[in-house]
Amino acid sequence: MLSSPAWLTLEVKYPDRATAFYEAFLELDIVSEGPDEAVLAAGDTELRLRAPGTVPRGGLHTHYALTIPEREYDDWYDRLDERFDLVEHTFGDARSLYFYDPEGNCVELGERAIDGTGVTGLFELVLEAEELSSAMEFYTTLGFEVVDDGRDEGRVRLSTGELDLELWSPRLGIADARGGVHVDFGVVADDPKSTAKEVADDALAVTSVDDGVRIRDPDGHYLTLVSAQVAAGVGAAD
């Protein structure tokens, strides 16, 4: 069984500059910082900013969504509207605002009826997929549940209940967002090894790593399954 996101990695030219951006505009705390990678805390999820060079690489032009408390939404909108050309969209009763970071990633802040302050976590990630039906089958075999089958429109939405995963054909979405390519992300699993075995025949690679089990899906995205115990240590300072 899959549950919450553990991390999302973005590829950036200069981690120090990207860190300054996310610290200033999203008020994310720095967990660690080095010449090739910086890690920030987006609530319970790590946002990893990685320079080109290592494999897995971080995602390019990735669209992802972070939660903020609904009582803070207007303040976030007013503050960011001073600097960015914001796009706003409403899903039922919930509002989301969209803007771009300096690397071309489309960041969404979505209001939720939650406690806490500031960014509280990652709730949506969009991956570009060459063939939606096979990608959907791959992720449902892993344990994601289809909640919106929009293959006729070039998109499929799946969920663990704590993380929504959108699979998009190459296309432009709201705010001209695009699905990320070669995205590296982590998700908590009850039994990482057994879960990974379910897709071993269809994955490009399945590898045991220090964090858990890393899977490379047919589109080249890297998903690492981690235990809850490992995830609890994610973000801890050295």
pLDDT for the residue numbered 193: 95
Antiparallel, parallel or unpaired: β 164-168 and 121-128: parallel
Alpha-carbon distance of 89 to 91, in angstroms, equals 7
| pTM score | 0.93
CATH superfamily of this structure's domain 2-188 = 2,3-Dihydroxybiphenyl 1,2-Dioxygenase, domain 1 (3.10.180.10)
pLDDT of residue 234: 63
Q: Are 174 and 126 in contact (CB under 8 A)?
A: no
* Predicted pLDDT at 190: 93
Which residues in the chain show pLDDT less than 50? 235, 237-238
Supply φ then ψ for residue 100, to 5 degrees: -115, 140
d(CA 47, CA 44): 10
Per-residue pLDDT, 78: 97
